[in-house]
Amino acid sequence: MWSSFIVQDEEIRTVNTSPGVHQPSGGLGGFLGSRGGGCKRRHRTHSSSGDGISESQEGKIKLTLFMAVTGIMLTVLGVGTEFWVELKPSKSFYNNQTCLVAHYGLWKCCTKTFWVSDMDPKQEICGSLHLQGESNCTFFKFYTTGENIVLFQKTPEKDLTVVSAMFAIISLFLMVMGTICIIMAVSKGVQFFLKPAAVCFILSGVLIFLCLIVFHQSVLSFLASDQSIPLHHELSWSVTCVGCAGALVIFAGALFLVLALPYSPWEKCLPKKNSDI
């Protein structure tokens, strides 16, 4: 009797340990597996909650961030260059052989001298900056020593120039802070950082446009400082870069604000009609 019981027990063990039969998980391994599955389920539930960021929303956030970073790059390009305004006098300002033009930005001023013979004879004012000539650039000293410069017997309004430069620096700082908030929102998976990022980008865009307005007012004050020498002025490509950057960051901030809403504005404004068949 005992021998038959041992034989039957060995046969059962042999059948249970065969590779073709699936064994139910038990013991410590099954317990740890069930605990791991519970952790994964809890993690998915947390990421799909209202405070988290879904995968589709994360893609929209990254696309909007790319737009904001483009605006930041345009701002850096515009603020760092000196092609904000071009000043062109008439051909007879110095003599009939050479012609002088100037351009400046927030930090630096440049003058360029070239021959009148290289210009179009029908043109009454000095030609374009693209012509070959001798150029000379200098940084504004009123940021350090307070000394102002003289261009065509005119002096730029340094107070307005300093204010416009401060607006540009504060705007860049807000853009960086907004970018950090978006990076934290994507890495942590929390929507909370979208609202401060939206505020930072919108304020930075507003400051950029205030910078352009103040700078243009400084140019008008510079031209009005001496009426004896008429000058033709025009805003250059650096202003275009900064203006496009301001529009981009404001639009990106508005999109971040929409993405931070707990509901979809499209579904709220245009609810779906349930069609009963």
CATH of 55-269, one of 3.30.930.10, 3.40.50.10260, 1.20.140.150, 1.10.10.10: 1.20.140.150
| pLDDT at 27 > cutoff 50 | no
| pLDDT at 46 > cutoff 60 | no
| pLDDT at 85 > cutoff 70 | yes
Q: What is the dihedral of CA 267, 268, 271, 272, to 10 degrees?
A: 20
Please answer whether residues 110 and 104 qualify as being in contact, where contact means their C-beta atoms are separated by less than 8 angstroms: yes
Helices (H), 130-190: 158-188
| Nearest CA-CA partner of 119 in 108, 129, 134, 111 | 129
Is 108 buried (19+), middle (13-18) or exposed (0-12) by CB count in 10 A? middle
Mean pLDDT of all residues in 6-16: 46
At 95, is the pLDDT very low, low, confident or very high (cuts 50, 70, 90)? low
Express the helix, strand and coil content of the chain in percent, nearest 5 each: 55, 15, 30
Query: What integer pLDDT is reported at residue 69 of this predicted model?
Result: 95
Query: What integer pLDDT is reported at residue 76 of this predicted model?
Result: 95
Q: What is the pLDDT of residues 226-267, one digit of tens each?
A: 777 778 888 889 999 999 999 999 999 999 998 887 665 555
Q: What is the pLDDT of residues 175-194, one digit of tens each?
A: 999 999 999 988 888 888 88
pTM over 0.75, yes/no: no
At 147, is the pLDDT very low, low, confident or very high (cuts 50, 70, 90)? confident
At 126, is the pLDDT very low, low, confident or very high (cuts 50, 70, 90)? confident
| Nearest CA-CA partner of 110 in 88, 137, 148 | 137
| Nearest CA-CA partner of 131 in 153, 149, 110, 115 | 115
96: CB partners within 8 A, 6+ apart: 116
Please answer whether residues 52 and 186 qualify as being in contact, where contact means their C-beta atoms are separated by less than 8 angstroms: no
Sheet holding 98-104, edge to edge: 134-139, 108-115, 98-104, 85-88, 232-235
- Exposure on the CB side of residue 183, measured as CA atoms within 13 A: 7
Share of the chain above pLDDT 90, in %: 31
Query: What integer pLDDT is reported at residue 1 of this predicted model?
Result: 45
